[in-house]
A and B are shown apart, each in its own frame.
Chain A
Amino acid sequence: MWKEIGKFGKKLVEGGYLSSHFGNISVRVGDGITVTRSGCMLDEITEASVVTVDLHKPSSLDLIASSETIVHREIYKKTSALAVIHAHCPFAVIESLLNDTSIEPYDSEGKFFFHEIPIVTGHIGTKELAQNVAKALEIHKGCIAKGHGTFAVGKILEEAYVHTTMIEHSAKVKYFCDLSKNK
């Protein structure tokens, strides 16, 4: 599984969706969550870069897991997601700061697949953020934590990756459209 996580970690960094040390990726494996470790470089993942933590409750292994594991866990508990990607997509972050509760994509794919992309609040690694993100993902395929980054889900990692890139694309199109309009 770490190879699959590594593959998408690399793609995310190369695509500019996050910088190497930020963001995190996980997949659900039975009653566990295999998640990237805190401080690991997502474009250089090895077997030692991931850790499997309990799905239901935190344990000592959480200490070495990504600081956002609390959010991943809450998502898996509240939804049927089997893969989660958290990325610091720049345009998504900008749009989350320019809008209040959601952004409505202008591009046809974004409009079609997302209708709207919710913006949620809560500080990094907190229960509040975990609950707000999980709640949004009960209905949506992805959301943006205000000023922080995207959380996207899928049945497989590829799907979560596609959702992440689509959110960023929609945010980018919207940003430049709004910019041109306001000139």
Chain B
Amino acid sequence: MPHIEKLLEIDLDTEKIEVKKLDKKMTSKYIGGRGIGVKLLFDRLPPNTDPLSNDNILIFATGPITGTVVPLSGRHIVVSKSPLTGTAFDSSAGGFFGRELRMAGFDVVIIKGASEKPVYIEIDDGDVNIKDASNIWGKNVKESTSILSNNGFKVSCIGKAGENLIPISSIMSEYTHACGRGGLGAVMGSKKLKAFIVRGKKEIQISDSEKMKKYISESMRLLNASPVASKGLAYYGTPSLVNLINTMRIMPTDNFRKVHFENAYKVSGEYIAENYDIKKKTCYNCFIACKREDRKRNIEIPEYETIAMFGPNSMNDDIEKIIQANYICNDYGVDTISAGNAVSCYIELEGKKDIEKPLKEIVEGGPLSQGSFRYSKGKGKEDSSMSVKGLEIPGYDPRGVLGLALSYATSNRGACHLRAYMVGPEILGKPKLIDRLSFSGKSGLIQIFQNISASVHSLIMCQFSSFALSEEEYANLLSAGVGELYTSEEFIKTGERIYNLERLFNLRESMTYSEDTLPGRFFGEDGISKEEFNSVLDEYYTYRGWNKGVPTMERLESLDLKNEGKFLCGKK
């Protein structure tokens, strides 16, 4: 079995269901997941489509190694035009849904149109049905999942937030695995699609099992040797970052007005380990098992990002309140980073140190549910929104991690720490320690890491694998998976193609380079020099072969994107 190929198209307007094959040339050029998703989105979505209209499309995609013997390969990705940022947007989740989708017989599913009444899609070992969801519409994630997961179905669904078109709503798989960012839950809600459930017995194949065995053993050796992957994350989960980030003075505190939180210990991984009876949880085929649950209550322990936003950034040192906030967000289907960041923004503007009231406002659809940018703009105070391109900034203050600062600013989907995962080199020193307080050399590095991440998100492997694996191991795993040789360079170049195509999508939506920046709060005397930032941004564009954020025809040609970039001709 070569590349992914099984495409399912479902039109909710007409209830037409079509089984197709993905073009081999395209899968070879875009790998899978994020790459294939953005290509399909670019080709099929006319510019200026309202993200919450019938015309928007929602793509569930897997990659060529999803659900195989490759470790950390359980993720799937959802791609659409975001109602929060207006950009091309991909959001991925771990768990088991991606694998089950492939076992049910499909690699990529495109959902078009919108139903008049609430429905859910069921794929039962190749058999596709659109079913009535009237009895679950109006219910939250926990209840909906428990109703639909009978008989071994894996469930992706939205809660009330997605139903109510809240632009920071998520799509939740198997209760707690979130396609969190970008409000794709609202796109699902606009289609009156409550859930997508899958079950199957089909075998997932890889092309060259012998080679794969060898490459997996090499990758496992590196993963095991990585103290971050095999010890830090495996021992404390992502909350292990709390004390570290705080010590480095890059902890978002008081809506990014400070960089250090006095009581960080009370919300740290160590505190959680000492005070809770913890059960480890994992995604498909992952020995790291970074997820945590409170054994007594069967309630999820939040990830680092959630803790940072609802904790220090909202001036809250009560871990119980954060656990509750996380539970509410997951149940209503709301992105915890955006919600927590919006709560911090509310606290700054209203001067009230309480996370419960603003969170209630979010899940019930009040003004804050529109995200921090629209909320603060509505109050004439958009300077208080800590976001880039409308997407809220996650748990690392960019002033103390300058590569990440550039990565936040130039990310096509807005402020995201995963586009170029600089947490590895700049914070944890993996795979190599790089000076986080200097811009020197960062422009070249950021574009390479952005390209690598784009390919990793297309393969698809969990981002945490990058603490140990490089483009070489990824390229090997991909080659053995699809039976076609990808060198490290080709792996990086494929990522570059994907990154440029996302940029083209955004430019077609009339975005400009003026959005490649950070909130004003981060510049100035105590922060980043604007002059230095602008110069490093220019250098970044040079590496990318972009002119003021716009790819040159020459670069597009070298990436085989000439056709896609045609609309740029004649544009000033």
- Whether the Cβ atoms of A82 and B441 lie closer than 8 Å is yes
Q: Do B488 and A156 touch across chains, with their CB atoms under 8 A apart?
A: no
A79, B432: Cβ atoms under 8 Å? no
Most interface-central of B451, B472, B492 (chain A CB within 10 A): B472
Asked, given contacts A30-B539, A30-B543, whether A139 binds B448 with beta carbons under 8 Å apart, the answer is no
12 contacts between A and B (CB under 8 A): A1-B440, A4-B440, A30-B443, A30-B542, A79-B489, A80-B448, A80-B492, A82-B444, A112-B218, A141-B472, A155-B445, A156-B434
Partner of B489, one of A1, A30, A80, A82: A80
Select A82's contact among B445, B451, B472, beta carbons within 8 Å: B445
Encoded as 1 (CB less than 8 Å from any A CB) or 0, chain B from 483 to 499 comes to 00001110011000000
- Check if B448 sits within 8 Å of A155, measured CB to CB: yes
**In the complex, what residue of chain A is closest to B452 when comparing beta carbons?**
A80
Q: Is the CB of A158 within 8 A of B441?
A: no
Counting CB contacts under 8 A, is A28 at the interface? yes
Q: Are B488 and A139 in contact (CB under 8 A)?
A: yes
A-B contact count (CB 8 A): 44
CB within 8 Å of B: which A105-156 residues: 112, 138-139, 141, 155-156
Sample of 9 more A-B contacts, CB < 8 Å, known A1-B441, A155-B444: A29-B444, A30-B542, A78-B489, A80-B489, A82-B441, A112-B221, A138-B489, A139-B488, A155-B432
Interface of chain B, main secondary structure: helix
**Which residues of A sit under 8 angstroms from B444, Cβ to Cβ?**
28-30, 82, 155
Distance between B147 CB and nearest chain A CB, rounded to angstroms: 49
State how many residues of chain B have any CB contact under 8 Å with chain A.
Answer: 20
Q: Which residues of B contact A82 (CB under 8 A)?
A: 441, 444-445, 448
Interface residue? A65 (CB, 8 A): no
For chain A residues 67-82, which have a beta carbon within 8 Å of chain B? 78-80, 82
Q: Which of B470-487 contact A (CB under 8 A)?
A: 472, 487
Cα(A80)–Cα(B449), bound, Å? 11
Give complex CA distance A20, B488 in Å. Answer: 33
A155 surroundings in chain B (CB, below 8 A): 432, 444-445, 448
CB of B542 within 8 A of CB of A27, answer no
Bound CA span A27–B543, Å: 13
A141 to B489, CA, bound (A): 11
Residue contact A27 to B441, C-beta cutoff 8 Å: yes
Interface size class of A (residues with CB under 8 A): 10 to 19
Q: Nearest residue in B to A1 (C-beta to C-beta)?
A: B440
Cβ-closest 6 pairs across A and B: A30-B542, A30-B539, A82-B444, A138-B489, A80-B492, A139-B487
**Is the CB–CB distance between B542 and A159 below 8 Å?**
no
8 A Cβ contacts from A49-95 to B: 78-80, 82
Query: What is the chain B residue whose CB lies nearest that of A158?
Result: B432
B528-572 with Cβ < 8 A to chain A: 539, 542-543
Bound: A138/B487 CA distance, A: 7
On chain B, the residues within 8 Å of A1 by CB distance are 440-441
A89 vs B440: C-alpha distance when bound (angstroms): 29
Bitwise, B415-454 to A at CB < 8 A (1) or not (0) is: 0000000000000000010100000110111001001000
Query: Closest residue of chain A to B445, judged by CB?
Result: A155
Residues of A within 8 A of B440 (CB): 1, 4
Q: Which residues of chain A are near B221, meaning CB under 8 Å?
A: 112
Question: In the complex, what residues of B have CB within 8 A of residue A141's CB?
Answer: 472
The proximity string for A residues 1-43 relative to B, scoring 1 for CB distances below 8 Å and 0 otherwise, is 1001000000000000000000000011111000000000000
Q: Which residues of B contact A27 (CB under 8 A)?
A: 441
CB neighbours (8 Å) of B448 from chain A are: 80, 82, 155
> Do A156 and B489 contact each other (CB < 8 Å), given the known contacts A27-B441, A82-B444, A82-B448?
no
Nearest to A108 among chain B residues (CB) is: B221
Q: With CB as the reference atom, state the residue of chain B lying closest to A162.
A: B432
Shortest Cβ distance from B451 into chain A, in angstroms?
A: 8
Residue of A nearest to B488 (CB): A139
When the two chains form their complex, are residues B489 and A139 in contact, meaning their CB atoms are under 8 A apart? yes
- Choose among B432, B472, B487, B543 the residue that contacts A159 (Cβ–Cβ < 8 A): B432
Q: Look across to chain A and name the residue whose beta carbon is closest to the beta carbon of B543.
A: A30
Closest to B214 in A: A115
Q: In the assembly, what is the distance between CA of A158 and CA of B429, in Å?
A: 13
Nearest chain B CB to A178's CB is how many angstroms away? 25
Q: Write the chain A residue with the least CB distance to B448.
A: A80
State A19–B47 Cα separation when bound (angstroms).
60
Q: Which residue of A lies closest to B222 (CB)?
A: A112
What distance in Å separates the Cβ of B452 from its nearest Cβ neighbour in chain A?
Answer: 9
Bound-state CA distance A138–B471 (Å) is 12
Set of chain A residues within 8 Å of B542, measured between Cβ atoms: 30-31
Complex Cα–Cα for A156 and B432 (A)? 9
Min C-beta distance of A147 to chain B, whole Å:
27
B451 contact set on A, CB distance < 8 A: 80
B358 to chain A, nearest CB (A): 42
Q: Could you tell me the distance between the alpha carbons of A155 and B492 in the complex, rounded to whole angstroms?
A: 12
A80 to B443, CA, bound (A): 13
B492 partner residues in chain A, CB cutoff 8 A:
80
Task: Give B489's nearest chain A residue, CB to CB.
Answer: A138
In the bound assembly, the distance between CA atoms of A141 and B443 in angstroms comes to 21
Q: What is the distance, in angstroms, from B275's C-beta to the closest C-beta of chain A?
A: 40
User: How far apart sit A152 and B302, CA to CA, in the bound complex (Å)?
Assistant: 43
Complex CA gap A10/B155 in Å reads 59
Chain B nearest CB, measured from A157 CB (Å): 9
Closest approach, in angstroms, between the C-beta of A31 and any C-beta of chain B?
5
Question: Inside 8 A of B487's CB, which chain A residues have their CB?
Answer: 138-139
Task: Please name the residue on chain A nearest to B535 by beta carbon.
Answer: A30
With a cutoff of 8 Å between Cβ atoms, the chain B residues found around residue A30 in the complex are 443-444, 539, 542-543
| A160 CB, nearest partner CB in chain B, Å | 11
Which single residue of chain A is at the shortest CB-CB distance from B495?
A80
Q: Is the CB of B218 within 8 A of A156?
A: no
* Distance A27 CA – B440 CA, assembled complex (angstroms): 11
Measured in the bound complex, the distance between the Cα atoms of B492 and A51 in whole Å is 28
Q: What residues on B are CB-neighbors of A80 within 8 Å? A: 448, 451, 489, 492-493
Question: What chain A residues lie within 8 Å of B432 (beta carbons)?
Answer: 155-156, 158-159
Could you say which residues of chain A place their CB within 8 Å of the CB of B539? 29-30
* A156-B443 CB under 8 A given contacts A30-B542, A79-B489: no
Instruction: Choose from B441, B493, B543 the contact partner of A156 (Cβ within 8 Å).
Output: B441
Q: How far is the CA of A37 from the CA of B101 in the complex (A)?
A: 58
Bound together, the chains give a CA A22 to CA B320 distance in angstroms of 63
